Amino acid sequence: MSAGPSIDFEILKQTVFEVTGELPSGINFIARDDTRRTFEILLNPRHVIACEIYYPHAPSYLINSKIATMRFIRDFTPIPVPRILAFEVDASHPLGPFIMLERAEGRTLESILLDLSHNEQDALAAQLARWFAKLSRFKFDFIGSLYSGKEDNFIIGPMVKKQFFSEGRARLSNLDRGPYKTVKEYLLACTQREIDCSRTLSAQDASVAYQRDLEDCRVQVEQSMAVMESLIQKCPGLDDSEVDGSSPFSFDLHGISLKDVVVASDEPSRIVSVGGWDCICTMPLWQCGRLPRWLVGSLSEPDDGTKVRLAAIYRHVISAEEGKESLLVQALSDSDSTRCALLDLCEYDAFKDGFLLRPALESIAATLPGNEDMEGLSALLDPSTVIGRVARISLMTTGSAGDALSLAFSEMTMGEGKRKGN
């Protein structure tokens, strides 16, 4: 990850003073990702703000969409979101593009959840479920991300998922970033995105052997995407809408994690702030209604039963809020469907994760109605092979391809150790 240009802290202090009327007493680095660096700024012992300073190459629509989404959430829902103090999208600003926000006092739910009583945990899961259910009632006509319109309204515009702009992809002007009228249109754009990105990889001045390997990888990407496109065309239920014919898309909040939820230090069952509004997109309700990732079990994270209990509470609240027949409730038991798997696989980098993507796609193809190949599927998921173990782990968890591969090797190593011990 590139460190990017250095920060001029005198300019940062001056910008903070212009916005707040106070000079910082301290500045602490918090985090960095592909698009920005985040700093905690101390104004006085009880006043702390955050400043996200974006790299010059970060597309302006990332900031515009985040601002619009947070404004929408604040104006139309009871969800507490950080207050935006100032923002700038112009890369020529002395500080560069930035967003300055208030920081809520408290602790992240990620750091405290397992220390809370069952009653406190249950109350928090129920509150988040109620809020997410309310958000699902806002319907849109397109898949994409939220922006402010010219008439003080909100519109759906280009997608801000990381797969469309990270690792240099923001510079590729030919990528179809939407908005999209249907799920099928979105999925096909994802397959073309991976093909286009693989074709831009350069091997200039590299050895002949490396150039040959790179070309082989490009061919593998195109073959994988051909399988993906075939699955998209055959997959049932991609564009099912609600019975009343209302707009079929709503906010997909699976990018929000427990580290984005802040609770009061003196009353940990009370949520004081919800962040993580970067890269929020609209998706079909059958995707929006899936369990949040923090409630989904993982082979790499043993669960003492907490996730199972909280997931049951989450389901109960959604059912009570929306009715048992709603698409949102149906989605809670539909997370293993082919259409959900296709949406998940569209978030993979087909070049880097090709060793996992291809067998996963072929295993899905083998289970489509009329195409069942149980013998072939068993071979693909053979636990005695690395690929088989990786495919099994990836399909059962929400981890990355690298995590799945690491887990597969570690489990095989443990197995070898046990056999030697015998």
Output the CA torsion sign for 305, 308, 309, 314: positive
- The verdict on residue 56 lying in a domain is yes
Residue pLDDT, tens place only, 154-165: 999 999 998 998
Residue 144, domain member (yes or no): no
* Better-predicted residue by pLDDT, 349 or 393: 349
Q: Is residue 96 part of a domain?
A: yes
Residue bearing the bigger pLDDT, 75 or 332: 75
Q: Nearest 10 degrees: CA dihedral of 89, 93, 97, 98?
A: -110
In a domain, 13, yes or no: yes
pLDDT confidence tier of residue 392, bands split at 50, 70 and 90: low
In a domain, 136, yes or no: no
| Residue 241 forms part of a structural domain | no
What pLDDT score does 297 carry? Answer: 73
Identify the pLDDT of residue 109: 95
Distances (CA, A) of 167 to 33, 96, 113, 164: 10, 20, 33, 9
In this structure, how many other beta carbons lie within 10 angstroms of the beta carbon of residue 383? 14
CATH of the domain at 99: 3.30.200.20
Q: Given this model, what pLDDT does residue 129 score?
A: 94
Rounded-to-integer distance, Cα 115 and Cα 323, Å: 33
| Domain total of the chain | 1
In this structure, is residue 262 part of a structural domain? no
Q: Given CA atoms 286, 153, 95, 52 in this order, what sign does their dihedral have?
A: negative
pLDDT of 400 higher than 60? no
- For residue 283 the two structure tokens come to 């998706």
In a domain, 140, yes or no: no
Side by side, the strands of the sheet bearing 271-274 are 107-108, 261-263, 271-274
Better-predicted residue by pLDDT, 233 or 372: 233
pLDDT for residue 6: 82
5 Cβ contact list (under 8 Å, min separation 6): 55, 56, 96
Domain range enclosing 58: 1-103
Given this model, what pLDDT does residue 157 score? 96
pLDDT band at 328 (very low <50, low <70, confident <90, very high): confident
